[in-house]
Amino acid sequence: MTESAWFLPAAGVLVGTVLGGVARWNHFCTLSALERYWYASDAKGVRMWVLAIAVAIASTQALIAFNFITLDSVFYLQPRLNLYGAIGGGIVFGLGMALVGTCGFGALVRLGGGSMRSLIIIVAIGLSALIAQRGVIGRLRNTFVEPLALDLSDVGSASIADVVATAIGLPVHFVVSAVIVIGLLVWVFKDAVFRRNRKAIIAAVIIGLCVTTGWIVTTMHSAVSFDVVQIESASFVLPPGELIFSLIAVTGEIPDYGMGLVLGVVLGASLVAYLQGDMRWEACDDARELNRHLAGAFLMGVGGIFAGGCTIGQGVSASSTLALSAPIVFFSILIGARIGLRLLVEGSSMIHESS
């Protein structure tokens, strides 16, 4: 079955259905988690994210240690680290996320509940990502940004474990993985309230395992396929654009895992929203809100390509590979989101005072 060209998109739909359903079931959203953490001192959402990352790292690195999967060809680990793209793109993505009110993954989950605003956001993210990857902005990126990437050929890959191993001259891949996972888990479970929140814990564990499943599925198919197969997991910047392109351009190419994942997230979120009686059509309130959403989606699409991923792509998928770019991009996204939220909050306060 894994030899079939339809195996990857079918697997993507299946995993995406679980991912989208769980996210809708427990309101798993990056920006809302950050807002509650920064403005309400509620760390539940952030702890869920960190737990998902810890589970993804532990399960992915265990599979690598036992030679079930090999991620050497994953672009996150290629021996080039573009700090300018990672930091600048991450900040731009975070700013766009604040303007929209969610990230690409969150927009897909909301779309499953009937949000037409999210449909507009997803289309705008996908098209702007294509422009930044293959269009005019992509040409500028390849000319002025990519040549500035740091060469890590002496290290072997852009992996935190390889950097540490090279620095001390000892093979410490397992130790580095263990230290990171234990550190994350200690922070997550030091909160007694969160330890009692079984629903949040289960949701975070499933999301982390879904990311690892992506590595398994694409690795399995690459081992039996005669075609070149991209080893990938969850990411929601370029795949929506590729899905749009595949729908409007008859190229004869079968959708890949990422495109299937996009469809699956919407399907899973729709199923849960229907079962919970939470399906309702939503649209932008006015032209001003639409403009803000379009601007934010454009920033997320372009920023996500420069950064090499989004909150899920870099925040969880890249983290599971121990990529150096993951913490850099993720913290840059946090900075951008913080700036964006402050602008929105202070701006609304100024309007309120003047009125």
Q: Domain segments of the chain: what residues?
A: 7-354
Q: Does residue 192 register a pLDDT over 50? A: yes
* Contact (CB, 8 A) for 265 and 273: no
Q: d(Cα 340, Cα 288) in Å, to the nearest integer?
A: 16
> 61, 79, 59: which is closest to 159 by C-alpha?
79
The pLDDT tens digits of the residues spanning 109-132 come to 999 999 999 999 999 999 999 999
Contact 217, 11 (CB under 8 A): yes
Nearest CA among 51, 36, 58 for reference residue 190: 51
Nearest to 208 by CA among 2, 65, 7, 15: 15
pLDDT of residue 5: 75
| pTM (2 d.p.) | 0.93
Least trusted range by pLDDT, from 260-264, 281-285, 321-325:
281-285
pLDDT band at 3 (very low <50, low <70, confident <90, very high): low
The residue-averaged pLDDT of 198-207 equals 97
Position 149 pLDDT exceeds 90: yes
pLDDT at residue 349 is higher than 60: no
Average pLDDT, the chain: 92
How confident is the model over 42-54, as pLDDT tens digits? 999 999 999 999 9
Does 71 have pLDDT greater than 60? yes
Long-range (24+ apart) CB contacts under 8 A made by 180-188 are 180/57, 180/322, 181/54, 181/57, 181/58, 181/61, 184/50, 184/51, 184/53, 184/54, 184/57, 185/51, 185/54, 187/47, 187/50, 188/47, 188/50, 188/51, 188/54
Report pLDDT digits (tens) over 301-325: 999 999 999 999 999 999 999 999 9
pLDDT reading at 276 higher than 60: yes
Across 224-231, average pLDDT: 84
Mean pLDDT of 64-90: 94
Q: Is the pLDDT of residue 241 over 80?
A: yes
Question: Per-residue confidence at 2, pLDDT binned at 50, 70, 90?
Answer: low
